[in-house]
Chains A and B, each alone.
Chain A
Amino acid sequence: MSTESSILGNVSLSSDRLRTIALYVGLYGTAGLFLIPYWYMFATSLMTRELVYSEVPHLIPWDLTLYWYDYLLTSSLVVQWTGNTIILAGITTLVVILVDAMIAYSLTRLDWPGRRVIFGVIVASFMVPGIINLVPVYIIVSELGLVNSIWGVVLPSAANPLGVFMLVQFFKDLPEELEEAARLDGFSRLRIFTHIVLPLMRSALAALGLFIFIWTWNSFVWPLLILQSESMYTLPIGLVTLQENMGVTEPGVIMTSAVIASVPLLIVFLVMQKQLVRAVEMQGTTK
């Protein structure tokens, strides 16, 4: 660079600057567009009826009200749906972590015949898109009498191949000496698993857990099929039926319910973004 003539240097400098400006405009412009739907959602949820229904769409709620929140909290089951969603996502997360960690432990740390085949089958089962099993799984769940039960939603997603794959990568790196020492101290396999392996894997389990929690909170097709009474609904299902039941769409109600359904996760997202990024990155390196 420095050896070039000053004129050329100036030209490349200004084209560098142009490029930087273009980069900033591109990135921040896109970011601005990305934010508009959020803004619209929050703004509409705070607008008075007159503003919501005016001819021209408003972006600024200059006439603020909590009317829609009040309406939703008092005349719909939104609070109960939130509770249901937390319970469902919590139970699913615990079950998936337990089931996945157990098999991941057995596949990496215990020597028994067939474990390679089983791991191969689990990896291959990534390729089976859940939606294809929609009909037969529904039949099985209803045969088991689990329609309209929380377990009808939890169990079909309890064996998560992605989780096994992620955990296997971590369990492999666990130093063997720790287990050896525990074995010599007379620890049983179960005790080694619960007292040594699980605590050591805390951060990997937390990343997986966060991912499963968000996944379950947001899941749609399966709760839609299985949870059939209004008092059982999760938030996503509740919102959609709310919109359908009103016939004419009520933007104020819809946007407010969307805020209620997304704010908890957006907060979790802001607080735990690092872990979530890590969980997503782990998926990218699984192939």
Chain B
Amino acid sequence: MAQSTQQTDADGSGLDRSKSMTREWIAGATFSLPYILIAGTFLFGPLVLALYMSLHDWNALAPAQSQFIGFENYQILLSDPDFWNALWNTFYFVFLTVPPIIIGSLLLALGVNRDVKGKWLLRTIFFSPYVLTVAVVGLLWTELFNASGLIPYHLGGGNWLTSPELAMPGIAVATIWWQLAFNFIILLAARQNVPDRLYEAAKLDGASTGQMMRHITIPQMRNPLVFVVIVTFVNSFQVFGQPFIMTDGGPTFSTTTIVLYLYETAFTGREFGYAAAVGYVLFMILIAISATNYYFLAGDDQ
């Protein structure tokens, strides 16, 4: 087989070359097909379907009878106090979690990168929550925050998760503990990639630790930092499992986040069209936030 191809190629037969090209095309398309089919059905198709649904008063039992209502779902949404409340709660959660996760993971990564004893142990401990499911995290911290649990006993405040003021901070603490790990590993790797000679040169020039931090460490780690900031924002914006498990959105709606609200309107309220509209608005917000982050953090060089 191969020999004959070689021979005909040597003859310079264009027909055969185009045949082998066609074969390459067919092979390429065939190898890609499973992914394309699956992504089409469960990723891109749904994006279109969501838009379509959001423009309808969706009938869950008889989708064919759904009525086209244009942008009415979006209009209702804008005057829906629950939506705004959930959006506000989400922003509050983002505010409570993103800065501590970024700063905490950066400090831990820089610290562990130093010449400390027990590096391996420290890395293992800080990375370990990464392999926990949100169910374990949620239940574990629910017990810790319980009225008779460890945290109220030492810090006061009764059961944090039944207090409108403390429930969200409680969820935030659990989230920080859980989510630091991923950023920590990425930033640790990023710090290790900064060449030592930069610091040696700076030391010779008499630079202080703070100066080296500002002029070498942070700029050199810029890309991973931008990545980490965007990912943390996007994750925090989509928080679902923690409030679902720990508080069920309560007390008095104080921990209902936007995705929890979406979930409930869809699967408790059966308002699929409306929930799809909520999803699209969330999508737009996420794109805007990622773009803003990117613009401010990575925009002004190279």
A interface list, Cβ under 8 A from B: 23-24, 26-28, 30-31, 34-38, 40-41, 44, 53, 55-57, 59, 98-100, 102-103, 105-107, 110-113, 115, 118, 122, 125, 127-129, 131-140, 155-159, 161, 164, 183-186, 189, 193, 214, 217-221, 225, 235-237, 239-240, 243, 249, 251, 254-255, 257-258, 261-262, 265-266, 268-270, 273, 276-277, 280-281, 283-285, 287
Contact = CB atoms under 8 A, between A and B. Distances in A.
Contacts of B177: 34, 37
B32 A27 contact: no
Most B C-beta atoms less than 10 A away, residue of A37, A41, A111, A140: A37
B293 to A, nearest CB: 12
Nearest to B258: A131
A225 B267 contact: yes
A36 B31 CA distance: 49
Contact of B38 (A34, A158, A183, A240): A158
B31 A31 contact: no
Most A C-beta atoms less than 10 A away, residue of B45, B127, B131, B177: B131
Interface in B108-167: 108, 111-112, 114, 116, 118, 121-122, 124-136, 138-144, 146, 148-150, 153
A129 B234 contact: yes
Most A C-beta atoms less than 10 A away, residue of B39, B134, B224, B228: B39
Interface in B233-267: 234, 238, 240-241, 245, 259, 262-263, 266-267
Interface of B is mostly: helix
Most B C-beta atoms less than 10 A away, residue of A30, A132, A217, A268: A132
B46 interface: yes
A10 B73 CA distance: 71
A30 B108 CA distance: 9
A133 B131 CA distance: 25
A273 B267 CA distance: 38
Nearest to B23: A189
A249 B2 contact: no
B136 A261 contact: yes
Contact of A266 (B131, B190, B275, B287): B131
Contacts of A268: 131
